[in-house]
Amino acid sequence: MALGRAYSVALVGLNGYIVEVEADIGQTLPAFVLLGLPDASLNEARDRIRSAAQNSGIPLSRRKITANLIPASLPKRGSGFDLAIAMSVLRAAEDIRPTGRTVFIAELGLDGRLRPVRGILPAVMSAVQAGFQDIVVAQANAAEAELVPGARVRGYQTLARLVFDFGADPQELVLDFAPEDEPAGNEPVSVDASVPDMCDVSGQAEARRALEVAAAGAHHLLLTGPPGAGKTMLAERLPGLLPDLRDTEAMEVTAIHSLCQLPASGVQLVRRPPFENPHHTATAAAIIGGGSGLPRPGAASRAHRGILFLDEAPEYERRVLDALRQPLESGELVIHRSAGAAAYPARFQLVLAANPCPCGKASGKGIECTCTPFMRRRYMSRMSGPLLDRVDIQLQVDRVSLADFGQSGGAEDSATVGARVLAARARQLQRLQPWGMETNSQVPGRILRSELKLAAATTRILDHALERGVLTARGYDRVLRLAWTLADLGGREQPDGNDIGQALSLRQTASAAA
Which residues would be at the binding site for other proteins (CB under 8 A)? Answer: 27-30, 62-63
Return the number of the residue (62 or 377) whose C-beta is nearest other proteins: 62
Please compute Rg for the chain using Cα positions: 28
CB of 69 to other proteins, least distance (A): 25
CB of 262 to other proteins, least distance (A): 34
Return the number of the residue (65 or 201) whose C-beta is nearest other proteins: 65
Nearest to 300 by CA among 330, 270, 271, 272: 330
DSSP state of 215: H
**CB atoms < 10 A from the CB of 3, how many?**
12
Return the number of the residue (14 or 52) whose C-beta is nearest other proteins: 52
Return the number of the residue (56 or 301) whose C-beta is nearest other proteins: 56
- Do 483 and 440 contact (CB within 8 A), yes or no? no
- The dihedral built from the CA positions of residue 56, 58, 59 and 65, taken in this order, carries a sign that is negative
CB of 172 to other proteins, least distance (A): 13
CB of 320 to other proteins, least distance (A): 51
Q: Label residues 352-382 b or e (16+ Cβ within 10 Å = b).
A: bbbbbbbbbbbbeeeeebebeeeebeebbee
CB of 63 to other proteins, least distance (A): 8
What does the angle CA 310 – CA 312 – CA 313 come to, to the nearest 5 degrees?
A: 55
Q: Which pairing describes strands 134-138 and 307-310: parallel, antiparallel, or unpaired?
A: unpaired
Return the number of the residue (29 or 456) whose C-beta is nearest other proteins: 29
CB of 118 to other proteins, least distance (A): 34
Q: How far apart are the first and last CA of the chain?
A: 72
Three-class secondary structure assignment of 185-214:
HHCCCCCCCCCCCHHHCCCCHHHHHHHHHH
98 class by beta-carbon count within 10 Å (0-12 exposed, 13-18 middle, 19+ buried): middle
**CB atoms < 10 A from the CB of 461, how many?**
14
Phi, psi of 155 (to 5 degrees): -105, 135
CB of 50 to other proteins, least distance (A): 11
Return the number of the residue (64 or 399) whose C-beta is nearest other proteins: 64
CB of 51 to other proteins, least distance (A): 12
CB of 159 to other proteins, least distance (A): 19
Return the number of the residue (30 or 228) whose C-beta is nearest other proteins: 30
Return the number of the residue (15 or 54) whose C-beta is nearest other proteins: 54
Return the number of the residue (27 or 194) whose C-beta is nearest other proteins: 27
Q: Which pairing describes strands 64-70 and 134-138: parallel, antiparallel, or unpaired?
A: unpaired
CB of 35 to other proteins, least distance (A): 19
Return the number of the residue (63 or 208) whose C-beta is nearest other proteins: 63
Sheet holding 64-70, edge to edge: 31-35, 64-70, 15-26, 2-12, 103-105, 134-138, 152-156
Q: How far is CA 6 from CA 91, 168, 175, 443, in A?
A: 9, 16, 23, 48
Pairwise CA distance, residues 459 & 450, whole Å: 14
Rounded to the nearest angstrom, the gap between the alpha carbon of residue 388 and the centroid of all alpha carbons in its chain is: 22
